[in-house]
Amino acid sequence: MPSHVREVSRIHRIASIPGDGIGVDITDAAVEILNVLAKTIGGFEFEFTTFDWSSKKFLERGWYMPPDGLEQLKKFDAIYFGAVGWPDVPDHISLWGLILPIRKSLNQYVNVRPTRILEGTKSPLADCQREDLDWVIIRENSEGEYSGQGGTSHESSPHTVATEVSIFTRVGIERIMRFAFETARSRPRKKLTMVTKSNAQRHGMVLWDTVFYEVAKEYGDVEIDKMLVDAMTVRMVLQPKSLDTIVATNLHADILSDLAAALSGSIGIAPSSNLDPTRANPSMFEPIHGSAPDIAGKGIANPVGAFWSAAEMVRWVGEEKAADGLMKAVENVTARGVKTKDLGGGEDTKGVTKAVCQEIETLF
Ligand code: NAI
Ligand code: MG
């Protein structure tokens, strides 16, 4: 090609929302890694637009997102999110001011949360080897316990009444079940465990069970079983090898995925993808952890969950080779013992980020 003809690059337009606390540090790290990845591999670029929607800004101006915030986000190919929440703002205000409206309004009804023990790291479980824990949790992300229905009456009186209504719809359950079965089918073990609490909760949870068995008929090649959520915590700890793909409600999967992350080494490594599988809206990628005010500003947050989330975003926008390469680079680095404190290492956020950048340049 003549030198004056510039090779046309695929451009992926990313909305970046760093948010609060360590969300800012790990988003900076992820953006740095993604730019190095694109530059090293070539053929594609990321174009980032940063939105300063955070609790700090909320305290200054009284809003998280402007009225046309969701419309602005719709113009992007994907959204990269750090974390939201700060001690000066009640957590239900920050979550409902930013992350939950994005997930709900952009039809991101699936939340995919993979967990495994990365190379060079170990589980806090004494007998759990790397090959014993390799799960994908599929979380219903649009309704259930986080549907936002309910209210408070007689506030500030001794007779206050508060309701928090869980909403379960056949349409909502069926679409998450189908996604979960497809995920299970795509993995070598073809195994799906469905979690509810249908012994004590006899309406919505029973509908979950019913729809699960209905959809299962279309997936005869997928082995299935059903767990109550309390017993599931025991099974995750005592028989991790017996699990593969897991589907659960918004609340249950939120809790189980923090446990899953801890069992695989640290909450700091765990990624999540908030997907609109129809692709009518951009999907959003974020580590599962929060803003971690206890370590914010110290430069010691583990950026691995942010990198893994970035890799899932790269895969979603169609750069399969780059996604695999990024994960390989991350694991080569952890394998060498370059890790933050939460994983038993001695590096800080910048140290791990630099090591992953160098590894990407070595790999490609
Ligand atoms: P958290 O996940 O922020 O922190 C829990 C514990 O894990 C802390 O001890 C923290 O230091 C540690 N930790 C978390 N991420 C880490 C990392 N990358 N490296 C090393 N250690 C890490 O959960 P917490 O404390 O319950 O919530 C803090 C704030 O974050 C709250 O305002 C909460 O509402 C918000 N939050 C926001 C989320 C989001 O934006 N999607 C998700 C979860 C919580
Ligand atoms: Mg959570």
ipTM of the complex: 0.99
* Same-domain check for residues 22 and 132: no
Q: Is residue 287 a part of any domain in this protein?
A: no
Residues in the chain: 364
The torsion defined by the Cα of 195, 200, 204 and 205, in degrees rounded to 10, comes to 20
Please identify, by atom number, the ligand 1 atom nearest to the C-alpha of residue 293: 28
* Same-domain check for residues 218 and 250: yes
Q: Does the pLDDT at position 1 exceed 80?
A: no
Q: Is residue 103 a part of any domain in this protein?
A: yes
Phi, psi dihedral angles at 184 (to 5 degrees) = -60, -40
* Same-domain check for residues 301 and 343: yes
CATH number of the domain where residue 168 is located: 3.40.718.10
Q: Which of 264, 280, 308 is the endpoint of a domain?
A: 264
pLDDT tens profile 275-316: 999 999 999 999 999 999 999 999 999 999 999 999 999 999
Q: Where are the alpha helices (DSSP H) in 18-108?
A: 22-41, 55-61, 69-74, 91-94, 100-105
Mean pLDDT of 36-51: 97
Please identify, by atom number, the ligand 1 atom nearest to the C-alpha of residue 22: 18
Q: Is residue 274 a part of any domain in this protein?
A: no
Tokens of 113: 């949360």
* Same-domain check for residues 258 and 316: no
* Same-domain check for residues 88 and 127: no
Q: Is residue 3 a part of any domain in this protein?
A: no
* Same-domain check for residues 90 and 128: no
Q: Is residue 114 a part of any domain in this protein?
A: no
Q: Which of 208, 240, 264 is the endpoint of a domain?
A: 264
Quote the number of domains for the chain: 2
* Same-domain check for residues 260 and 130: yes
Pocket of ligand 1 (CB under 6 A): 22, 83-85, 91, 95, 99, 267-268, 286, 289-295, 301-302, 305, 342
How far is the C-alpha of 98 from the C-alpha of 92, rounded, in Å?
10
* Same-domain check for residues 258 and 180: yes
Mean pLDDT of 136-153: 96
* Same-domain check for residues 233 and 335: no
- pLDDT for 7 equals 64
How far is the C-alpha of 258 from the C-alpha of 248, rounded, in Å?
13
285 and 316 in contact (C-beta within 8 Å)? Answer: yes
Q: Does the pLDDT at position 162 exceed 70?
A: yes
* Same-domain check for residues 95 and 133: no
How much is the mean pLDDT over the chain?
Answer: 96
Q: Is residue 343 a part of any domain in this protein?
A: yes
Q: Does the pLDDT at position 123 exceed 90?
A: yes
* Same-domain check for residues 140 and 228: yes
Please identify, by atom number, the ligand 1 atom nearest to the C-alpha of residue 342: 20
Q: Is residue 328 a part of any domain in this protein?
A: yes
237 and 125 in contact (C-beta within 8 Å)? Answer: yes
* Closest residue to atom 42 of ligand 1, CA basis: 290
- pLDDT for 250 equals 97
* Same-domain check for residues 101 and 137: no
Domain that holds residue 146: 123-150+160-264
Residue 301: is it exposed, middle or buried by C-beta count within 10 angstroms (0-12/13-18/19+)? buried
- pLDDT for 8 equals 72
